Amino acid sequence: MSFDPRNILVIDFGQLGDVVLSLPALSAIRERFPRARITVAVGTSCAPVVEMSGYADTISAVDRVGLRDGPKPLSVWKIIQFVKKVRAEKFDFVIDLHSLSETNILGFLSGASKRLYARRPNRSLDFLANFSTRPPLEDSKRHAVDRYLDVLAPLGVKGAPRVPRLKTRAEDDEAVERMLKKERADTGTPLVGLFPGAGHSSRRWPIEKFAELADSFVRNDGVRVIIFAGPEERSLIKEFRAKFPRNSIIFDRLTLPQLASALARLAVFVSNDTGPMHIAAAVGTSVTLLLDKSAPDSYIPVEGRHRIVRGGMIDEVTTEEVYLAARELLASGRTATLFAS
C-alpha cells in the first residue's frame, strides 16, 4: 500500500483499561508509519499510559468527564477551543480507535483528508469516515485487543503482537522504592497486591473476603500485603485499616506511573475487573482476576499465565478459591522484572 501520511491523529478516548488494551494497536500504527508524526488524543487520566508506551510523538489530553459534566456554556467553549487546536495541527490522517459519535465528528472537523474509524453498530457515524477500505463491523465477542487491531486491517496490518506492554520509568521506580523502604518492605519478602475497588458495586468482591485473603497470605506464606486504592476508594481507607492485617501497606496516593512501578514489584496481584488490573498485566505481573459468570472474556488478560476465578455472582466466589489460584502464581516465583526498565 502506497498510502504514506506524515501527520496522524489517533483518537483513543476509552477508559483506563480500554487504553491499555489499545496499546497493541498504537504499536502497530507506529510500526506501520515509522516516519509519521503521531499525536494521540486521550482522556487526561489515561494520558500517562500513552506517554509510558512511547508510541506517540505528541499527546493531546482531554478532560472528557469535565466536558460531559461541567457547565454547558463552559463545555461548549472548551470543545470549540479543542477543535481549533486540532485543526491548527493540519493532520492528514485520523484514526478513531474507540469511535463514538462525538469523536467521529471531531475527526471530521479536524480537516484531515483521510479518516479511518472503528465501525461500532449504533455508536459510530460511519458516513463521516472516508478511507477507501472499511474495517469490519465491530464484533463484541472478540477480545478488545483484537477489535482495536481490526480497525487497522485496511492499512494491511496483520499478525501484530497482541499483548499490551508497558515499561516503568526510572524516576517512578525510585519513588516506589523509597515508599517501600519507609514501610520496611524492601527486604526481599514477596509482595502481594490487592485491589478491592471496582467501577461498579456489581463487579466488587466483598472487602471482608479480600481481608480474609490477606490474612491467609500473611499467616501461610509470610508475604507483605499491599492494598491499592484510587480516588474512588478513598472513602474505604478507614475500613481497610480496620479489617486488613495490621502490617498491610496501603497505597492510595500513587500517580499512574508510580502505580505501574509498584505493580511491577509484586509477586501476584489480585483484583476485580479494573484498569489497574490491566496495568499490572501490561508490566508483566501475574494477575488473579475475579469475575462473575456473566462477565465477557473480551477484557481478560491476553496471556494464559494469569488466573481467572468466576462465580455466579462475584460475591459467591470463595476466599479459598481465590487463595489457591493466587498462591499457584505466587509459587511460580515469576516477577515483572523482565518488563521493567
pLDDT at 231: 86
- pLDDT at res. 335: 53
Cell of 258: 508510580
Instruction: Identify the helix (H) or strand (E) that includes residue 288.
Output: strand 287-292
- Per domain, the residue ranges of the chain are 7-155, 170-332
Q: pLDDT per residue over 117-142, tens digit each?
A: 999 998 999 999 999 999 999 999 99
State residue 200's pLDDT score: 72
Report yes or no: 270 and 322 within 8 Å, Cβ to Cβ: yes
Indicate the pLDDT class of residue 69, thresholds 50, 70 and 90: low
Please report which confidence band the pLDDT of residue 259 belongs to, taking 50, 70 and 90 as the band edges.
very high
β 191-195/268-271 pair status: parallel
Q: Identify the pLDDT of residue 25.
A: 98
Cell of 170: 526510572
Read off the pLDDT of residues 93-102 as tens digits, 9 standing for 90 and up: 999 999 988 8
Residue 66 pLDDT greater than 80, yes or no: no
Q: Does domain 7-155 have CATH number 3.40.50.2000?
A: yes
Long-range contacts of 154-161 (CB under 8 A, 24+ apart): 154/116, 155/1, 155/3, 155/29, 155/32, 155/116, 156/1, 156/32, 157/28, 157/32, 160/24, 160/25, 160/27, 160/28, 160/31, 161/24, 161/27
Query: What Cα–Cα distance (Å) separates residue 82 from each residue in 47, 62, 86, 107?
Result: 16, 8, 6, 12
Among residues 162, 191, 233, the alpha carbon closest in space to that of 20 is found at 162
Q: Which of 80-84, 116-120, 152-156 has the lowest mean pLDDT?
A: 80-84
DSSP 201-256: GGG---HHHHHHHHHHHHHHH-PEEEEE--GGGGGGHHHHHHHS-TT-EEE-S--H
Averaged pLDDT, 240-254? 95
> What pairing do the DSSP bridges indicate for beta strands 249-251 and 307-311?
unpaired
Task: Give the model's confidence band at 338: pLDDT under 50 very low, under 70 low, under 90 confident, else very high.
Answer: very low
Q: Is the pLDDT of residue 334 over 60?
A: no
Number of Cβ atoms within 10 Å of the Cβ of 69: 9
Query: How much is the pLDDT for 80?
Result: 86
Give 170-214 pLDDT, tens digit per residue. Answer: 999 999 999 999 999 988 899 999 999 887 777 899 999 999 999
Categorize the per-residue pLDDT at 68 as very low, low, confident or very high, splitting at 50, 70 and 90.
low
Q: Is the pTM of this model over 0.85?
A: yes
Q: Is the pLDDT of residue 339 over 50?
A: no
For residue 38, what are the CA distances in angstroms to 46, 47, 59, 150? 17, 14, 9, 19
- What is the maximal distance between C-alpha atoms in the chain? 63
Instruction: Give the helix ranges, DSSP H, for the chain.
Output: 16-21, 23-32, 47-53, 64-69, 72-88, 101-109, 144-151, 170-182, 207-221, 237-243, 256-263, 275-282, 319-332
Q: Do domains 7-155 and 170-332 have the same CATH topology?
A: yes
The confidence score (pLDDT) of residue 234 equals 86
Per-residue confidence (pLDDT) for residue 235, from 0 to 100 = 86
Predicted pLDDT of residue 37: 98
For residues 52-63, average pLDDT: 95
> Among 54-63, 216-225, 328-337, which stretch is predicted with the lowest mean pLDDT?
328-337
Q: What is the structure's pLDDT at 1?
A: 59
- Under CATH, which number does the domain 170-332 receive? 3.40.50.2000
Q: What is the mean pLDDT of residues 300-320?
A: 92
Query: How much is the pLDDT for 75?
Result: 72
- Using CA of residue 130, residue 135, residue 139, residue 142, what is the dihedral sign? negative
Distance CA(257)–CA(169), nearest Å, equals 7
Does position 332 have pLDDT exceeding 90, yes or no? no
